[in-house]
Chains A and B, each alone.
Chain A
Amino acid sequence: MNPRPWWTKLGHAGLLCLAAAFCLFPIYLMLVQALKTPVEDVFGNPLIVRNPTLENFEELFEREGGARGFVGDALRRDFPFLDWLANTLFVFAGSVAATLVLSVAAGYALGRLKPPGFAWWRRAIFATYVIPQTILFIPLYQVVIALGLDDNLLALLLIYPTLALPFCVWMLSSYFLLLPKEIEEAALIEGASRATAFFWIILPMSRPVLVAAGIFTLGSVASDFMIASVFLLTGQNQTITAGLGTFDVALDELAAVAGVNLLAIPVVTISAIFARGYVRGLTASMLEGA
């Protein structure tokens, strides 16, 4: 192709800058605010921070245990941020793992073993996405209480996978459907069982799709606010999301913004590391998807 004229290149670069700015600006603002002292938060320039400080982050960890002084008792609630962090880690990792195991099993069943009517099973599972969540937590609470899981992290571990499961099953089963039959057949003829063929041949080559399903699950789980706030009630059982939701913004604004950043940093880092795999995996499951 002939080289493009300079003005198209310039336009392309300009659009790229605009897109990046649009995407990054709110994140930048939240980061900057978390680094501010209370004085600068009120009187400083909103866009930059002159004297960056980590005291808001430190405050999150120091608040555990007694409040400071008499006024402090009324104004400064203490909260177990370390517990929140551990709970979040447990719930996020557990949900991603559970979703992956379930969706690989279901995807393999639908895409490779093909029980009668598998195409309709796929559609039915995907269709559960359209159920409006609005007030479903009311009957869901009955289920959770019947299982004895109220105010328990395990309740989230049960509910979160369903947020991503329909899409992940869909994605994995399309990927398994598209894999040519010959891939397993050689192993099967050699006398290997289906399970051996799965664990030694199919699973290793599905890495990108697994990454895509995992990142999609992480994104869905991290975007929940309502389920965490409704089902986790006491302080030491909450996740960061549920805990931050109980903050009084007027009093703890900066600590809350710092908390937002603190949750975002690990999630964003993990997703950035796997970003390429995410796109590759989505592509792999959509080839001939039309």
Chain B
Amino acid sequence: MIPVAARTAQRHRDVRNAYLLLAPTLLLLAGVLGYPLGWEIWTSFTSLSPLQEGGATFVGLENYRRQVSDPLFWWAATVTVTYAVVTTVAKLALGLGFALLLVRPFRGRTLVFLAIFLPWVYPAGVSVMGWYWGLNPPVITAYSIFLSQIKHAVDDVFGAGAWAFLSVILFNIWRGSSFVGVLLLAGINAIPPELFECAALESKSPWRRFWLVTVPLLKPFLALGAFLTLTSAFADLANVWMLTAGRIVFPVIGTHAYWLAIKVGEFGAASALSLTLVPFLLAALFILFRYFDPPERDAA
């Protein structure tokens, strides 16, 4: 038996070591994310602009007020919400489909699994270029006539730039459903198979089993997948900005903020604009924690 004094000394050492081990991670996050975020919050209350003579002045909530009264902001907000909802739902549905297809063993399972794993693994930093050029051929290639017909058909219905936006959505769904599929497959593996076997005895209808057993059991993983895809959607959009050199007819909050900062030079307004996303993302985070890591677990 270890004496109590030795044990508390050990505990003290453990706690100290824990902070030492955490320090590099926290330092890095503070430097790369914390400081920039603080800068962004501060800037959103000022008129900071690289084009402006003299220093920035404190303008309070002016930047936010101006955004809210700008119809372009509301257009961007609508597009953002539509984009996020459409892609997230599609990715979850497809990903769940992939995962369920792969659950049971069959011949060639490894191959199909690898095929489904590939879109996420394929370096998106460059595949997004391939996608974008593929769907919006900048030069004459074998399929450009065919594609420009589709492009014009889509643009005729939804307005100019619709096809470009649609290709972004398709890219996001293509890559994201692969990630969610593999994540959910791993999630299903973490659930004791007896639960599914019991369900199979209880009900003959696969449809009922799906909604009453599979979906509730997978809920935490679905929440995690939804959260990760939602946050990555905004990163993808920044990529697309770079590729299209800003020829964006369907702006989302992210690209609009980027445009304000880089083209118009209004750092203050751009900061305010990108911070308008934070409450929604925090809400998403809150919902995630409710499903994935409820505080009741802290006791354990």
Contact = CB atoms under 8 A, between A and B. Distances in A.
A260 B127 contact: yes
A74 interface: no
A279 B185 contact: yes
Given A46-B143, A268-B121, A162 B19 contact: no
A223 B22 contact: no
A211 interface: no
Contact of B200 (A1, A20, A165): A1
A160 to B, nearest CB: 9
Contacts of A161: 28
Contacts of A224: 125, 235
A201 interface: no
A30 interface: yes
Contacts of B148: none
B115 A19 contact: yes
A282 B183 CA distance: 7
B239 A225 contact: yes
A33 B129 CA distance: 13
Contacts of B28: 102, 158, 161-162, 165
Interface in A146-188: 158-159, 161-162, 165-167, 169
Given A162-B33, A165-B29, A229 B242 contact: yes
B25 A140 contact: no
A12 B124 contact: no
Interface string A19-52: 1101110110110010000001111111000000
Given A29-B134, A138-B267, A256 B129 contact: yes
A109 B293 contact: no
A226 B125 CA distance: 8
B18, B284, B298: most-surrounded residue (chain A CB, <10 A): B18
Decide if the interface of chain B is mainly helix, strand, loop or mixed: helix
Given A106-B22, A223-B123, A267-B122, A245 B242 contact: yes
A275 B119 CA distance: 13
Interface residues of B, number: 105
Given A143-B36, A250-B138, A26 B131 contact: yes
A229 B130 CA distance: 16
B168 interface: no
B106 A12 contact: yes
B161 interface: no
B64 interface: no
A260 B271 CA distance: 33
Contact of B22 (A121, A260, A289): A121
Interface of A: 1, 12, 15-16, 19-20, 22-24, 26-27, 29-30, 33, 40-46, 102-103, 105-106, 108-110, 113-116, 118-119, 121-123, 125, 127-140, 142-143, 158-159, 161-162, 165-167, 169, 194, 215, 219, 222-226, 228-229, 240-241, 244-245, 249-250, 253, 256-257, 259-260, 263-264, 267-268, 271-272, 275, 278-280, 282-283, 286-290
In the complex, the 8 A-B pairs of residues with the closest C-beta atoms, listed nearest first: A282-B186, A223-B124, A222-B123, A139-B39, A46-B143, A113-B18, A130-B281, A139-B36
12 contacts: A15-B101, A16-B101, A105-B21, A105-B25, A113-B14, A129-B231, A132-B278, A135-B261, A139-B40, A225-B243, A249-B138, A264-B122
Interface of B: 14-15, 17-22, 24-26, 28-29, 31-33, 35-37, 39-40, 43, 97-98, 101, 106, 108, 111-131, 133-134, 138-143, 146, 174-175, 178-179, 182-183, 185-187, 189-190, 200, 217, 219-221, 227-228, 231-232, 234-235, 238-239, 242-243, 253-254, 257-258, 261, 267, 270-271, 274-275, 277-278, 281-282, 284-285, 289, 292-293, 295, 297-298
